[in-house]
Amino acid sequence: MDAAALSSRFSALRDLAGKDMPTYETAGPDLLAVVKFLRDEQGFDLLADLCGVEWKDRTPRFGVVIHLLSTASKEYVRLHVPAVDDRVPSVSSLHPGANWHEREAYDMFGIRFDGHPDLRRILMWDAYPHHPLRKDFPLAGIEVPLPAADVAAITGQTVEPAPMMGGPFVSQGGRMSEGEPDALDQSWTEERPKS
C-alpha cells in the first residue's frame, strides 16, 4: 500500500508502527473517509475483521480494531479507532460485512456504532442488561431474569452466576495472569455461598 499517500491525505492519522502489518490510529470522525480511501483508491476491498477492545487504564476505555485486506495485492492494514464516549462511526455502509461484527462489539462491550442500520444485540438476548466481555464483568455472570417470563414462571430459573469451583484455571505466574487479574475467581462455589 501507499503509506505516503495515506499519511499525506490524512494528517491526523497516527502510525503505530505495527510489527506484522501497517497499523494506524484514526480518530472516529475520520474513519469513514479513511476506510473509503483505502477501499476505493488503495484496493483494500475486504473487511477481514472488526472487533471491540477494552483498554483498562486508558481514556477512552474502549476502542475498535479493523483489519482490511487487499485481495489484489494480498496486503493487510490495521486501523485502531478510540471510542470517544463509547461511540464509533459504523463502517457497514462501506463494508456490509461489518454489520454483524459491529452488533457483536455492541453486544459484548457496549460500543455504539453511529449510522448502523440495525444495532441490536446479536449473541445475548435483547433485554440482557450487561455487556459480558467488559473487564469488570465476572466470567461467572450476574444474576438476571430468564429472557422468557413464562418459562421463568414455570421453572423458577434465573440466569445465575455459574459455580466456578476454584476456576477458571488460569496460570498463576508470568505476565499474562498479572495482566488479567479480573480472570481470577469472583463468584460463589458450593463451599462459599453467594454474598
Partner 1 sequence: MVKTDFGYNSKVEGEVIVTRADAVVNWVRSHSVWPMPMGLACCAIELMAAGGSRFDISRFGMEVMRFSPRQADCMIVAGTVTYKMAEVVRRIYDQMAEPKWVVAMGACASSGGMYRSYATLQGVDNIVPVDIYISGCPPRPEALLDGMMLLQEKIRREGGSLRRTFKGRVVETKVVS
Applying CB under 8 A, the residues found at the interface with partner 1 are 123-125, 132, 137-142, 146-148, 151, 154-155, 157, 159-165, 167-168
CB 189 within 8 A of CB 166: yes
d(CA 52, CA 54): 7
Query: Is the Cβ of residue 85 or residue 169 nearer to partner 1 in the bound state?
Result: 169
Q: How far is the CB of 171 from partner 1 (least distance, A)?
A: 17
Instruction: Kindly state the cell numbers that stand for 124.
Output: 445475548
Closest by alpha carbon to 177, among 190, 185, 106?
185
Query: Is the Cβ of residue 18 or residue 168 nearer to partner 1 in the bound state?
Result: 168
Q: How far is the CB of 194 from partner 1 (least distance, A)?
A: 14
The residues facing 51 across adjacent strands are 65
Phi, psi of 137 (to 5 degrees): -95, 125
Q: How far is the CB of 39 from partner 1 (least distance, A)?
A: 35
Query: Is the Cβ of residue 73 or residue 158 nearer to partner 1 in the bound state?
Result: 158
Query: Is the Cβ of residue 3 or residue 148 nearer to partner 1 in the bound state?
Result: 148
Sheet harboring 75-82: ordered strands across? 14-15, 23-25, 75-82, 62-70, 46-54
Query: Is the Cβ of residue 155 or residue 171 nearer to partner 1 in the bound state?
Result: 155
Instruction: Kindly state the cell numbers that stand for 126.
Output: 435483547
Q: How far is the CB of 136 from partner 1 (least distance, A)?
A: 13
Q: How far is the CB of 118 from partner 1 (least distance, A)?
A: 18
d(CA 161, CA 106): 22
The residues facing 54 across adjacent strands are 62
